Structure 1
């Protein structure tokens, strides 16, 4: 059993960590990081002596700090409420600036007090901070809080730069302070259950492995939809756009797991080696292979448009929607388009991978639809295979059916952990597998930086689309241009509740239109 975890927990590290959360007063820490840490504690994945220190510029006493970090922590029972009180006893707060030594010196004093009491031998610094202070904070941590005899881990939130040049500057400056094995660049999508399941689906199933190539697959779509616009973040978002916000990181990470070759082992570096190889086979995106959009007010006028945000310039061409086609020029994938689509203020919330196979050669039957494997990342985690089947009866009519693994029915007694829980635990267990390596980041920026330069120069006009619609006009034609064929038959994904749920008398879930 690892000393970094409580009794009965999984663990891969021999260290007891003290966790320092920098940016503790911000939204990310409040909404994601503290709830994730509580989840780990509640499920006995944190040692009972693990102390958590919040650090930020805001002045707060302990009572206000505890009230702040519990805003988004939900407890379902008296037992959980009691567990939360125990968790809060492990949390303390230190205010301080990000650009002077004084606050970090006070933090060091607090760290030494905690480590004396707990016996901790390692420090995990989680930088839930804006990119502008990454390097100043990293420098002050190295100067004031880095000890050669204490194991140190540094979690850095995205964005990791805004283009290849700025990313390299950030990597160089961080690399001069900390070795690569101490840096954990976090992309929370790599902690999502279905994303972590991709390697199992691919490399543990003969039925998938033998068809996972250009000979069988016609095209692959990766879709990321959000119903919300940029509410409250317009000023920040306008400096990045949807490609930097979602596509260059979350979606590209999913692509590498879908497309990579089998790694030599499950060792973190072997896995990341294969992801980097995929990225190096991808040429920069061309202007003809991208479509941009920007949302306007909803058709009923209730939801504002992007340019209605006072923090957004009236003439902004920043895209809130993007569809881009990527090619991987290796033996497995040559000629297969990977279409990445992402957008804000759309008609629904979902992330999925849709793998569409080629037409049946010399088919005996008319009106066939293509086979598809759909991997639903969120919400409603699922994997389903669309296949042709005989319609029951006396005739030989074909219909679309499915082989459906819906997590909510097949694993209805299992709670899927939050992505941040999973990734923080990986960092505590010294596992880099689901974090972004420096050369991986470099290869990713090479793909996107040329087209981002064109966009930043205002050379591509985004197509307007109304809030709460499917996206800009021309998306369907754009996808069709790269070979995607919509089903010739109407098909509704039923989201089966499963035999166990049906036997228990539970209601069937509502059908969901199977489209993208």
Structure 2
């Protein structure tokens, strides 16, 4: 049998020798998944991934869709997936690219999932490709659902933001759904500053309504981030503690133990603040600092997030430390005179009744001493310290986003023995230990499923995006103009020494020397 041509669906025999045979009658493609009752109802579903040949699509988007399919969240018989990109290849060649990223490889579902995936090659800026794409979608909808049933179309733009306008224009003109909803997911970065972000928002706003547009920030899909509102508002003992009277400072930290590694050209254009802090960490800050919404509807939650952002004060230069790791400019894609920061520690101050006077430290960096992302809430000292607890360090509540998802409270307790001696320990909820039989979904799985469900709670609204850029744009322009010092730091270190000084002096942070949290799964 000859391989399928571009734009056709492959037969099982063309999908590779290492795939297992079709399941027997007693083993359906989703026999190991929960019941199909979880499937989001609404008719035939077409998922279109524009930029299907890129890294984001093969490493994140396609695997997330496969996992949703495998778990029974996508319809088995009314699903079709279309990949669209400029690369010249067949559907079978795309399947071969994807197989290594769809886990587990020996699941019977992978065979049937790939049967739903069709690849179409075409330019991004010419109408002919989109006309062909729409014909393929319409033909698949008709064959699976007939001509009268409602249908659903989800477009995922796994593309550089620079071509969002032209691609969106073509999708709007040629591919919108005449028999149901159409929704569009766009990836960050949403601009480089307030002006460019507003320009992009205006262009997309002319094409799609806010209800059709889903600005994805995958940090909002992380399990611990999703837990923030439940943890804060469903536990009585947190209610009186979560304010300026009890909390000394809050850190939101992102650390990587590797450098740009092949992304130097992209990274140098944006830097660590645009890449991580202005979007990911700021979104986490909103959930940490917001007031309780009236109810858990997307608009009520996002209204409270915008209120917090509006209360953030302008960033002062003395509250900022920037760094660049030694060896960053050895990357051939990075200019030799680059001053782009690969590290930033920034103090944000929220002027409202709950948080006035509490420093929020946003810290992110590459080539540091460890890999982690966490929220660290440090409480004030105990008044009348009769146990000399200051030697042990302050109480802290830590939410570890990645790796080894966990929530733990650092407490001062009596050390077992005959002497009255205080030591520091923790109350620990480590997910790998507590939820051993639960598969924690990837962030992209959750957010794609939310899009299909029409739930925008964990997506960025246009006014929220605008206020976020209003906070950081003045600082970014001063950095771009060379008005702030960028300090060198060694790879594998904690970052510039000035960052620790900022934390201690300006943020009133007390470091617990010698304390290292060890996940229970790693303890002997």
What is the TM-score with the length of structure 2 in the denominator? 0.90
Does the Cα contact within 8 Å between 2:40 and 2:74 map onto a contact in 1? no
Q: 1:361 is matched with which residue: 377, 383, 400?
A: 383
**1:375 maps onto 2:399 in alignment:** yes
Instruction: Give the 5 Å matches for 1:75-474.
Output: 75=104, 78=106, 80=107, 82-119=108-145, 121-296=151-326, 305-368=327-390, 369-474=393-498
Equivalent position SS for 1:51: strand
How much does 1:461 deviate? 2.6
How much does 1:192 deviate? 0.5
Equivalent position SS for 2:125: coil
Equivalent position SS for 1:453: helix
**1:486 maps onto 2:516 in alignment:** no
> RMSD in angstroms over aligned alpha carbons?
1.5
What is the TM-score with the length of structure 1 in the denominator? 0.91
Q: Report how many residues are paired.
A: 484
How much does 1:15 deviate? 4.5
**1:18 maps onto 2:46 in alignment:** yes
Q: Distance in 1 between matches of 2:290 and 2:41?
A: 28
Q: Distance in 2 between matches of 1:105 and 1:8?
A: 34
How much does 1:284 deviate? 2.4
Q: Distance in 1 between matches of 2:325 and 2:163?
A: 31
How much does 1:471 deviate? 1.1
How much does 1:510 deviate? 4.0
1:406-465 CA distances to partner (integer Å, 9 max, x unpaired)?
Answer: 001011111111110010000011000100000000010011000000011111231111
How much does 1:311 deviate? 1.3
Equivalent position SS for 2:497: coil
Instruction: State the match for 2:4 in structure 1.
Output: none
How much does 1:11 deviate? 5.4
Q: Distance in 1 between matches of 2:82 and 2:369?
A: 40
Q: 2:59 is matched with which residue: 25, 31, 49?
A: 31
Does the Cα contact within 8 Å between 1:6 and 1:47 map onto a contact in 2? no
Q: Distance in 1 between matches of 2:235 and 2:440?
A: 22
How much does 1:147 deviate? 3.7
How much does 1:204 deviate? 0.6
Instruction: State the match for 1:46 in structure 2.
Output: 74
How much does 1:17 deviate? 2.0
Q: Distance in 2 between matches of 1:228 and 1:17?
A: 39
Q: Distance in 1 between matches of 2:123 and 2:91?
A: 18
Does the Cα contact within 8 Å between 2:40 and 2:73 map onto a contact in 1? no
Q: Distance in 2 between matches of 1:178 and 1:246?
A: 27
Equivalent position SS for 1:240: helix
How much does 1:466 deviate? 1.6
In 2 relative to 1, CA 9–252 (structure 1 residues): closer, same or farther, beyond 3 Å? Answer: farther
Equivalent position SS for 1:361: coil
Question: Which stretches in structure 1 are left out of the alignment for 5+ residues?
Answer: 297-304, 498-508, 512-516
In 2 relative to 1, CA 15–446 (structure 1 residues): closer, same or farther, beyond 3 Å? Answer: farther
1:35-66 CA distances to partner (integer Å, 9 max, x unpaired)?
Answer: 10110011001111211000000011121111
How much does 1:365 deviate? 1.7
Instruction: State the match for 1:56 in structure 2.
Output: 85
Instruction: State the match for 2:94 in structure 1.
Output: 65
Instruction: State the match for 1:503 in structure 2.
Output: none
Question: Which stretches in structure 2 are left out of the alignment for 5+ residues?
Answer: 1-32
Equivalent position SS for 1:377: strand
Equivalent position SS for 1:124: strand
How much does 1:287 deviate? 1.1
Does the Cα contact within 8 Å between 1:13 and 1:430 map onto a contact in 2? no
Instruction: State the match for 1:301 in structure 2.
Output: none
Does the Cα contact within 8 Å between 2:249 and 2:508 map onto a contact in 1? yes
Which stretches of structure 1, 4 residues or longer, exceed 4 Å deviation after superposition? none
How much does 1:487 deviate? 2.2
Equivalent position SS for 2:426: strand
